[in-house]
Amino acid sequence: MTARTHTDRPATGATLWTTHLDRDAAVPVSRQLAAALRRSIAEGGICPGAKLPSTRSLAAGLGLARSTVVGVFEQLAAEGFVLARPGSGYYVPIPLAQNQSSAAVNGAAPTSPRLISRAARRLAAFDPPRRGEPRPFEPGYAEIDGRFMTNWKRMASRALSSRSPTQWCYGDPQGEPALRSAIADYLGAARGVRCRPEQIVVTAGTQQGLSLAARVLLDPGDAAWVEDPCYRAAVDILGMAEARIVPIPVDAHGLAVTAVRVGDMPSPRIVYTTPSRQYPLGMAMPLARRAELLGWAESAGAWIVEDDYESEFQHPARMLPSLQGLDRSGRVIYLGTFSKLLFPSLRLGYAVLPEDLVGPFVAARHLDDRQSSALIQTILTDFMLGGHFARHLKRMRALYAERQQFLTERITRRLGGLLKIRPSESGMYLIAWLPEKWSDRSAAAALAAAGVSAVPLSSLVLETPRPPGLVLGYTGHSEAAMVRAVESTADVLNNWSD
């Protein structure tokens, strides 16, 4: 069984609140507190998986300045004794022996603690979702229609009948040249991305693109500015690279870096943003803000990681071109994914890079897992070159817009007094806003018990509070399944007392 760490189990109160600190000793109180914490964690006085008290309350309880406690927690996080979860707090990691030890593999109990790295202790905080059948309104699923299946099967069967060695042997870690060329043509036409195929690295999806970017661009302790609220997987991967996560608020025009007062925040090595459809709030960053962001990044010497995850489903007349296409100083790392454009189990995406980053990205990719499957890349290349990809996107754009309208109408009819949906660009999800004082986490937990999946907006917030809301995906779920789910949602929320 995989242990969960994000319980709200309190750290054993007595161990922390009664820590004896000698103010007259030569050793500073911060070092005394750090030593006491290390001892408690190592001896099991504070349980693995426990959440530590907030820095504010511990500082008040021990009569210390809050900055002293923050400094101690950060020191312990750097040493791997505790895990910092931005927006959530500090946790004691679950040792591998308890989490996924040989016990899980052999069925035998571990006899002695096992030595693991700092990275493994941080990894122990993750409990990756093991998704099965999609439940409405789980976001991130794609629609697979009959026409797609027919064409994909034809391309697959053609690739499988070929004896070309490039499909069956090791290939180019940067990605098959024909696929990179097809991606460059597509991105130029559809997203205004300015690149040559030589600037593209085929990835195993955005997640790997982020991981490569973190490895190539960050040293431990470097500041990474991220949108608040934010795509959680991006924060996690940057945290794994030991970046200092700095949440930057989002306003009606998206990421607002220039609103941050110079000197208030550590200057960033990278900035992560979703300018064409802010995840999860959904707004697009207007051109003036894009120009401002690029100008600011150039003067700050920061890289911008642009996650362009589902812009293609917006109405073509309103679709803004990518930030990368406006970049004149080679600051933007553009990430895209076929998870949204086709289907997530394909595990293919792309990073479009300034020329000087291509070499390090390709080397990191090669060291990681060599390459994406050449066979699958061939199928995708033929699918794109045969015109099926463009036609599939056109069909999905229309279908997803219909699905959004369908769900909006259904919710408004059955739950209009409770859930508010503001008009937004089409994509793959929407936000349903709850009454102001409600807890979206509690509402999502009650809905989960009724078989309905909704992501509470507060779980994507790092620092700046937002009104309660539920992120609902409307793609990859049939209309009939959505109707049933809206009925269940109405049953749960109409009888709700938060």
Ligand X SMILES: Cc1ncc(COP(=O)(O)O)c(C=O)c1O
Q: What is the C-alpha to C-alpha distance for residues 71 and 446, in angstroms, rounded to an integer?
A: 38
Q: Which of residues 218-257 bind ligand X (CB under 6 A)?
A: 231
From the list 7-15, 203-211, 214-222, 416-424, the region that binds ligand X by CB under 6 A is 203-211
Q: How many helices (H) and strands (E) does the chain have?
A: 19, 13
Helix (H) or strand (E) holding 225: strand 223-228
Question: Nearest distance from residue 214's CB to ligand X, in Å?
Answer: 14
Q: Which amino acid is at 49?
A: G
Instruction: List, as one string, the DSSP characters of 48-90.
Output: TTPBPPPHHHHHHHHT--HHHHHHHHHHHHHHTSSEEETTTEE
For residue 230, the minimal CB distance to ligand X (Å) is 9
- Torsion, CA 67, CA 71, CA 73, CA 78, rounded to 10: 160
Contact window for ligand X (CB under 6 A) among 43-51, 204-212, 311-319, 451-459: 204-212
State the number of CA atoms in the 13 A half-sphere of 253 facing the CB: 12
- Is 372 a binder of ligand X (CB under 6 A)? no
Separation CA 280–CA 460 (nearest Å): 8
User: Which segments of 89-178 are extended strands (E)?
Assistant: 89-91
Shortest distance in whole angstroms from residue 84 CB to ligand X: 22
Nearer to ligand X, 91 or 148 (CB): 148
The mark string for 262-301 relative to ligand X (x by CB under 6 A, - otherwise) is: ------------x----x----------------------
Q: Using the rule CB under 6 A, is 344 a contact of ligand X?
A: yes
Say how far apart CA 282 and CA 50 lie, in whole Å.
34
Q: Which of 466, 478, 471 is nearest to 438 (CA)?
A: 466
Judged by CB under 6 A, the stretch of 46-54, 202-210, 405-413, 485-493 that binds ligand X is 202-210
Beta carbon nearer to ligand X, 172 or 307:
307
Q: Which is nearer to ligand X, 48 or 254 (CB)?
A: 254
Buried b (16+ CB within 10 A) or exposed e, 410-443: bbeebbeebbbbeebbbbbbbbbbbeeebebeeb
Spell 203-227 as b/e; 16+ CB within 10 A means b. bbbbbbbbbbbbbbbbeeebbbbbb
Pick one of 199, 207, 211, 314: the residue that binds ligand X (CB under 6 A). 207
- Compose the 83-122 pattern: x for residues touching ligand X by CB under 6 A, - for all others: ----------------------------------------
Beta carbon nearer to ligand X, 174 or 206: 206
Minimum separation from the CB atom of position 310 to ligand X (A)? 8
Q: Determine, following the binding rule CB under 6 A, whether residue 426 of this chain makes contact with ligand X.
A: no
Closest alpha carbon to 207 in 307, 313, 87, 354:
307
**How much helix, strand and coil, in percent to the nearest 5, is found in the chain?**
45, 10, 40
Does position 140 bind ligand X by CB under 6 A? yes
383 binds ligand X, rule: CB under 6 A: no
Q: Which residue has the tokens 């508010």?
A: 420
Q: Return the range that interacts with ligand X (CB under 6 A); candidates 337-345, 352-360, 387-395, 415-423.
A: 337-345
Contact code string over 308-327 relative to ligand X, x by CB under 6 A: -x------------------
Residue whose Cβ sits closest to ligand X: 205
Q: Which residues bind ligand X (CB under 6 A)?
A: 140, 205-207, 231, 274, 279, 307, 309, 337, 339, 344, 349
